[in-house]
């Protein structure tokens, strides 16, 4: 004897995750820890890479300015490093650094040199000769001349290069997904592999926001370090 009555069928909750929408608040709520971890890793790798890259570039730029015959070799080598594809770069580094964050950091430092070395050199070259000669006449020489006279006057050019290098590094950090240390790049790669729209869009937007915030912070730092330029502008 057949049973009569309402027929119940299993249904899935209709939400943005099920629909695989590009914009999905439910994804942000349920995957908050994953997003935070990826963002923190992305910021850490970017900051460490830019700081180390800037220190190395500063040393190389000063050497290139003081030892003229090394200038071409330093600029040429830094440019050549930038042309190496990321996959090849990481493959060359793996035997030395392993599948670690260090692999990504070293690669990003090398990529940043072509921008930073040229930017710092441009700033140092732009210091007027009469200003340098006047400083030498007042007893400034060597490191003191560099620290007190040349670098302060070169700040605008240096920060222009630093801003470009930082934004570039934010974008290039995602390539670290090759060794599973790419910050937001890990989410982008995972989202593309599984066709998960919300994950791809969220990680991509966060990369853009991170780059804009970093650029704004560096611009603010530049203005703070050059109060005389604010006075002239006003």
Residue ranges per domain, the chain? 24-224
Look at residue 11 and tell me whether its pLDDT is greater than 80.
no
User: Distance between CA 184 and CA 80 in Å, rounded?
Assistant: 27
Taking the model in full, what pTM does it have?
0.87
Which residue, among 179, 170, 201, has the nearest Cα to 31 in the 3D structure?
A: 201
**CA 119 and chain centroid, separation:** 16
pLDDT, averaged across the chain: 87
Contact in structure between 225 and 155 (CB atoms under 8 Å) = yes
Three-class secondary structure of residue 15 per DSSP: coil
pLDDT digits (tens, 9 = 90+) for 83-102: 888 888 888 888 888 888 99
CATH number of 24-224: 1.10.3720.10
Q: What integer pLDDT is reported at residue 8 of this predicted model?
A: 47
Using one digit for the tens of pLDDT, what is the confidence trace for 173-218?
A: 999 998 888 999 999 999 999 888 889 999 999 999 999 999 999 9
**CB of 119 within 8 A of CB of 60?**
no
């Amino acid at each position: 004897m057949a049973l009569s009555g309402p027929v119940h069928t299993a249904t899935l909750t209709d939400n943005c995750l099920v629909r695989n929408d590009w914009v999905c608040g439910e994804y942000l709520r349920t995957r908050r820890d994953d997003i935070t971890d990826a963002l923190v890793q992305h910021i850490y790798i970017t900051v460490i890479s830019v700081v180390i890259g800037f220190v190395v570039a500063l040393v190389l730029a000063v050497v290139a300015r003081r030892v003229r015959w090394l200038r071409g070799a330093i600029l040429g080598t830094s440019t050549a490093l930038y042309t190496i594809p990321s996959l090849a770069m990481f493959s060359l580094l793996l035997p030395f650094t392993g599948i670690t964050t260090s692999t990504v950091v070293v690669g990003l430092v090398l990529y940043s040199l072509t921008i930073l070395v040229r930017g710092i050199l441009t700033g140092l070259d732009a210091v007027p000769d009469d200003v340098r000669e006047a400083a030498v006449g007042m007893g400034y020489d060597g490191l003191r001349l560099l620290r007190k006279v040349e670098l302060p006057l070169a700040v605008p050019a240096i920060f222009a290069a630093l801003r470009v290098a930082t934004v570039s590094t934010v974008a290039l950090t995602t390539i670290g997904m090759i060794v599973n240390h790419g910050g937001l790049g890990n989410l982008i790669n995972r989202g593309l592999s599984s066709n998960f729209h919300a994950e791809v869009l969220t990680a991509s937007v966060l990369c853009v926001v991170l780059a804009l915030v970093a650029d704004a912070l560096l611009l603010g730092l530049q203005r703070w370090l050059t109060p005389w330029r604010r006075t002239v502008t006003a």
